[in-house]
Amino acid sequence: MSAPATLVWFRNDLRIDDQPALLKGIERGAPVIPVYIWSPDEEGDWAPGGATKSWLHRSLQQLDADLRSRGSRLILRHGPALETLQALIPECGASAVFWNRRYEPLAIARDARIKTALRGLGVHAESCNGSLLHEPWSIQTGTGTPFQVFTPFWRKCLSVAPPAEPANAPPRWPGPFEWPKSLALDKLQLEPRIRWDDGIRSAWTPGAAGAANELNHFLLKGVDNYKDDRDRPDHDGTSRLSPYLHFGEISPRQVWNSVMQSMRERLGPAGEEAAEPYLRQLIWREFAHHLLFHFPQTPSEPLRSAFAAFPWENDSPSIRAWQRGQTGFPYIDAGMRQLWATGWMHNRVRMAVASFLVKDLLVSWEAGARWFWDTLVDADLANNTLGWQWTAGCGADAAPYFRVFNPVVQGTRFDPQGEYVRRWVPELARLPTEAIHEPWRAGRDRLRAAGVELGVNYPHPIVDHAEARLRALDVLARMKRGRQ
């Protein structure tokens, strides 16, 4: 190659527009070579799960198509990141490598090693912020310490400069005279050998175009409806953008600015206040990354160290019943079946199923986090850790452990007509609304008329919730006494 090239190393930033590393590479004016390196062994205990890999296959496919539409392409490699980059640099005649930062502990350490090694070779190595509105170290308390409570974190985020406008890539940019070799996507073996992911494939369209469609759909519904609809799994009330944000197929700046613009156009000056309930969710995502950055032990250890001594029971049959959506509590089972079928679960239901596992069944939050990690298409280490530790009462800004979600009350409150349960637990679909969330109280005649036979085509409840709640509180009390 005649001119020194620029490598742009894609990771969880699988888009072209508002992609800082790509824009930095293009600005150099040299040929740009986009590369994705599949290196799951470097993720330690948190290698991508099955749902993540299913999504990633199609996302990489779409990114390559998007790049080709602009005269470029995606080079795929497999192996340790540093060794792969060190091999690519002389192969491509590259003099610079750009990438967007990640905030998982192992990724931070790996990136530091890579930056040092490449600079030692005389290669310009630079990382950018392409994933967050605010860097985790840039938002601090008045005493310079990390936040551990969300509300003051939210206020501090609002007090700094608002997110910048998204910056789009040009229609075309220079590529190399000769492209380096690339692995075929199938060689990464991301898709399952036995096709269990048909539900995921039918529910989602990975890639930047899919993200844009979901965002446009959300804006057309009206973000001002989010406050009332977000807690209703029987409604189409959420943005469904979490997997696209995780894979970086859309940036938080793109979402933030699109929401603000839409609401101003709809409601004028009042639009900003109406947008706040949704924008708070974007800042919760920031808060999760803030916590992971400052407390890197939390994916495997409780932030509140006292909970390390909690006597979890971790009963295997109970865990399996929970995983399969066979607990006998329709609202819980609906959520777990939605997760298995689509790789996603409504956030309100996530809290209920997590509480059920941790408190009704006394199974460790870590076991729940592992299951979500393998089955969620938006499996994000920061968000997953925050959510499970919040429910277990052992994390930042956590719900107190004695707050135990009642699975029947959660169902009747947030799925009042039973539509969510009927969709995901079809064996109960013919039950009347007043019985849909507690079929064990329906009576023999109602059950027979609905075609339900408890213990045969739908299980009896695997625990008595009232007794389980008292047991959980007793275990908590014993843990506290043990610390004294």
| pLDDT tens digit sequence for 166-195 | 999 999 999 999 999 999 999 999 999 888
User: 199 lies in a domain?
Assistant: no
**pLDDT score at 1:** 41
d(C-alpha 345, C-alpha 89), whole Å: 42
What's the CATH code of the domain at 399?
1.10.579.10
Q: Which of 130, 152, 181 represents a domain boundary (last residue)?
A: 130
110-124, 387-401, 445-459: range with lowest mean pLDDT = 387-401
User: 184 lies in a domain?
Assistant: no
Same domain, 329 and 230: no
Same domain, 451 and 316: yes
> pLDDT (tens digit, 9 = 90+) per residue, 332-371?
999 999 999 999 999 999 999 999 999 999 999 999 999 9
Distance of CA 30 to the CA centre of its chain: 35
Q: Tell me if 59 sits within 8 A of 247, measured CB to CB.
A: yes
pLDDT surpasses 60 at 483:
no
Q: What are phi and psi of 128, to 5 degrees?
A: -130, 165
**pLDDT score at 484:** 40
User: 421 lies in a domain?
Assistant: yes
Same domain, 288 and 326: no
Same domain, 123 and 143: no
Sheet with 32-38, strands from edge to edge, namely 75-78, 32-38, 5-10, 94-100, 124-128
User: 232 lies in a domain?
Assistant: yes
Same domain, 263 and 365: no
Q: Which of 130, 147, 177 represents a domain boundary (last residue)?
A: 130
Same domain, 344 and 435: yes
**pLDDT score at 165:** 95
> pLDDT (tens digit, 9 = 90+) per residue, 50-66?
999 999 999 999 999 99
Same domain, 139 and 286: yes
d(C-alpha 437, C-alpha 234), whole Å: 14
d(C-alpha 324, C-alpha 38), whole Å: 30
Q: Tell me if 345 sits within 8 A of 352, measured CB to CB.
A: no
User: 336 lies in a domain?
Assistant: yes
Same domain, 126 and 139: no
> pLDDT (tens digit, 9 = 90+) per residue, 210-243?
999 999 999 999 898 999 999 999 999 999 999 9
Same domain, 274 and 314: no
User: 189 lies in a domain?
Assistant: no
Mean pLDDT of 421-434: 98
Q: How confident is the model at residue 482 (pLDDT cuts 50, 70, 90)?
A: low
Q: Tell me if 12 sits within 8 A of 131, measured CB to CB.
A: yes
- Number of separate domains in the chain: 3
Same domain, 470 and 400: yes
Same domain, 277 and 319: no
Mean pLDDT of 256-260: 97
User: 178 lies in a domain?
Assistant: no
Using a cut of 0.85, tell me whether the model's pTM lies above it.
yes
> Structural domain of residue 343, as residue ranges?
305-483
If one compares 483 and 456, the residue with the highest pLDDT of the two is 456
Same domain, 426 and 457: yes
Q: Tell me if 401 sits within 8 A of 390, measured CB to CB.
A: no
What's the CATH code of the domain at 156?
1.25.40.80
